[in-house]
Amino acid sequence: MDDWDDDFAPAPAVGGAADPLVATEYARLEQKYTDAGYREGITDGKLATLQEGFDASFAASVPAARRLGALRGRVNALLAAASESGARTASGRGVRRSASPGPAAPEQAADEVVAALRALAATLASVRRDDVLPPDAERIAHERDEHGEDVLDVSDARDMEGLEAAMGGLGGQASRLGGLREDALLDALEAEVAALAAKVV
């Protein structure tokens, strides 16, 4: 009789709490929504952190970049004006004569000003972001914590800047900056531009 009873035993409730398929499906959905929530939380956290970092970096870099860009534009405008006025020096207009002792020919004074402006334009072209921006102490500390002392800043852009700096040092441009950085460098370059601007009419 036992066999007869087993054949007619009630079937397990399908879809009920005791159904193993329901428990498996519930666990799968729970994991799916947990993972989705975790990913959304990470994305929101990254966006908030990235925005804060962008805002801080933008506020620190824009004034220095604007000053450097204005200096480059001013030197190029002065160079164009001095080069154009070189043709007018014979008539006594164009480049002002210096107050130094000994008469200098106007053409020679114009050539000296143009040469000085070209050298200054080359110096301004060699100024890099690391020269005018403060070092990112937080990034440096993070890289040291994560990678140790040996690995700092290994991006391709930084490698290229390092190579450019080394090559610029061969041409004497690096020594012209005199080790100045940030605002001190920009102040010195602005003073040099102002001195040359006084010699160009």
CA dist., res. 159 & res. 47, Å (int) = 28
Contact 110, 85 (CB under 8 A): yes
pLDDT digits (tens, 9 = 90+) for 101-132: 554 566 778 889 999 999 999 999 988 888 88
CA dist., res. 127 & res. 60, Å (int) = 17
Neighbours of 112 (CB within 10 A): 15
Q: Which two tokens stand for residue 166?
A: 């080394």
pLDDT digits (tens, 9 = 90+) for 54-107: 888 898 889 999 999 999 999 999 999 988 876 555 445 555 544 555 545 667
CA dist., res. 173 & res. 189, Å (int) = 13
Q: Which pLDDT score, from 0 to 100, does residue 90 have? A: 46
pLDDT digits (tens, 9 = 90+) for 126-136: 888 888 888 87
The three-state DSSP-derived secondary structure of 4-70 is HHHHCCCCCCCCCCCCHHHHHHHHHHHHHHHHHHHHHHHHHHHHHHHHHHHHHHHHHHHHHHHHHHH
